[in-house]
Chains A and B, each alone.
Chain A
């Protein structure tokens, strides 16, 4: 017994230590430390650094940040992001939006890459602050334009992508209209869904996933496609949306009161809601199938059928 008691005590001590050691401290802006995105010494990426600004006034904080991004820290691993010749003429803060006015030297930066590093570091650092949502750049009073000649305007954090991985959490919510089976099984009904679209998946895949997910718990609609259906690929060409589905779409069971017609058109109609889609071409495991359950031929693209939608 003595032996076991020892083991038990050791285990307890070990687990307590482990819990205490877990570093769950996120980079936060609630404390006096702020995360400033400097560049790495080779200017090929960003390095986040925690800095104690020491000031509490918001405008002073912004100015201090800009100053640091220009002068840097005494550290060989870090490079400044705002070139020396660029001067900050003015900083304005209204509601949650900051407007920074730069000297003309801003447009004369030595290379576009310098500008990329500069702008991204400023916007990401400032929007990281709790009270700031957007940052606008002006060049001696004139709004900054992009390479296509369009005014960039106020930039939010998700307008700057520093890591493709966290892009998916920066997309706004979108509302889709999808078509599910009606209770009576002979019509389609439009259903609104508001979701955050995963940037890597895209709109069309999101729509398909919503259709596959089907009706929610309290809804009286019917699911129109097998739940095991997988979307292997979706692409749009000249207004035709090609969707490549897994074999399950044909072989697995569908709600028995839903007809094949409803299955096909729930997908076609939902996708046709998109501005850039007018027809839908089905592929099964990459192939064009002759028949879908004996009633439909899948070798031609489908146009939406609005007649079967419940009025």
Chain B
């Protein structure tokens, strides 16, 4: 039983390998190279040889005609007065065999001296005696034959006919030699092509192997090195793209580490404060009630701070989990904004910041009230946080029949150009030291971004350092579940 399974497995392994072989890029490239170079090579050589053969045959045909006609033109004196002096020169003119027959089919001359006196009754002669010229190429005997009528000087009478036969062995020998050389050449080239194709197809697919090794390394946990592949342009493109991806991963990882460090620190700070306050109270033998009250207020404040941090964390985790749970209702956006701004007024007046709300019309939109309120709060808070003293915040609301446009413009410290894309990323801080001064977790804008996306809207940021920042949102009026 186990042997049976082993054989089956062995077969399976072979099947997989055959499939691997035939679907491999290397094999395909190799076979294509081979086919595309060898087939035309063979076709062209065959065509050239065939061409040469035809050309030579045609040449020979013309030559035979010329010889036969030359002889025919010179037979007048023989046919009119029996003068055979011309006959002795015929052998030298013709490089095959020539026969002359008279009008009765009687052979009057044969350069080979054999058939004189015989009767020729072939259809070519019968036609020749009636004025027709014939050319025949007998493949079996490899002989060419030409039959040409011999006309009288005035072209009125046909005296007889001239036959010339010629062996084509010299042609077939020449063609054979040519074909042999061509075959050797083709074989040599085929071998060369096979070797080159093997090499080229291998070098083309080598980067893929290295790529595979690299990604396997990543799976094993070795993520600290970048991919380095050279070769052709496409591979280098893939490498660049892949490395960008790896860098992104590193960045994300770095940001996460920073966030964890940040959060730990943030959570630790209120804790430490609370501990200090509590301990100092406990250490004092008899503290006045006012002191207790003061310290407890501070402790309360710290707890609030911690709650906020924890809430933010929870929010973002929830947003991730409950991807499309939105509580959609028709909301008066103007009212919502006014409520938030009213709530934040004390914060703004602490820095003497003027808050202006410009609304071109009343906007009613299908949105999640709670989440959107958070968005406005976040953006407004940021506008205050990162603003100067005596600065300005301008909130603008407008709408067309499809969407409403809400923008927050501040005169704050601004965001560097290279960061305006990244600020919506989680845990991203423009300046890592800033969060400790201004408070915050780096999650605020990513919550805003996620919420806007969930409403099928878009948000963008424009900023100039030391001048100010503008956040612009476009949200559809009607909510369409995607």
Contact = CB atoms under 8 A, between A and B. Distances in A.
Contacts of A199: 112, 114-115
A146 B92 contact: no
Given A112-B129, A159-B119, A148 B106 contact: yes
Q: Is the interface of B mostly helix, strand, loop or mixed?
A: mixed
Interface stretch (B138-146, B177-185, B219-227): B138-146
A44 interface: yes
Contacts of A163: 122
B106 A45 contact: no
B88 interface: yes
Contact of A44 (B114, B117, B118, B123): B123
B204 interface: no
Given A115-B104, A164-B145, A45 B126 contact: yes
Contacts of A233: 95
Interface string A208-242: 00000000000000000000000011011110001
Contacts of B111: 202, 235
B108 interface: yes
B104 A237 contact: no
Given A199-B114, A199-B115, A237-B88, A165 B141 contact: yes
Interface in A37-68: 40, 43-46
A292 interface: no
B115 A161 contact: yes
Q: Is the interface of A mostly helix, strand, loop or mixed?
A: mixed
A160 interface: yes
A201 interface: yes
Interface in A178-205: 197, 199-203
A117 interface: yes
B291 interface: no
Contacts of A200: 97, 112, 143, 165, 167
B91 A237 contact: yes
B114 A202 contact: yes
B121 A147 contact: no
Among the interface residues B122, B125, B138, B170, which one has the most CB atoms of the partner chain A within 10 A?
B122
Contacts of B123: 40, 44-46
Contacts of B143: 200
A44 B127 contact: yes
Contacts of B207: none
A45 B114 contact: no
A161 B130 contact: no
B130 to A, nearest CB: 7
B119 A238 contact: no
A221 to B, nearest CB: 27
B154 interface: no
B122 A161 contact: yes
A167 B163 CA distance: 14
Contacts of B124: 164
A45 B122 contact: yes
Interface in A113-142: 113, 115-117, 119-121
Contacts of A291: none
Nearest to B102: A147
Given A200-B165, A235-B92, 20 more contacts: A45-B123, A112-B103, A112-B104, A113-B130, A116-B129, A119-B121, A147-B102, A147-B106, A158-B118, A161-B120, A161-B121, A163-B122, A164-B165, A199-B112, A199-B114, A200-B167, A203-B113, A235-B94, A235-B111, A237-B89
Interface of B: 88-89, 91-92, 94-95, 97, 102-106, 108, 111-115, 117-127, 129-130, 138, 140-141, 143, 145, 163, 165, 167, 170
19 contacts: A45-B126, A112-B104, A112-B129, A116-B104, A116-B105, A116-B125, A146-B106, A147-B104, A160-B119, A161-B119, A162-B121, A200-B97, A202-B114, A203-B114, A233-B95, A235-B94, A235-B95, A237-B88, A237-B89
| Complex A-B, nearest 4 residue pairs according to Cβ-Cβ distance, in ascending order | A45-B123, A202-B112, A120-B121, A235-B91
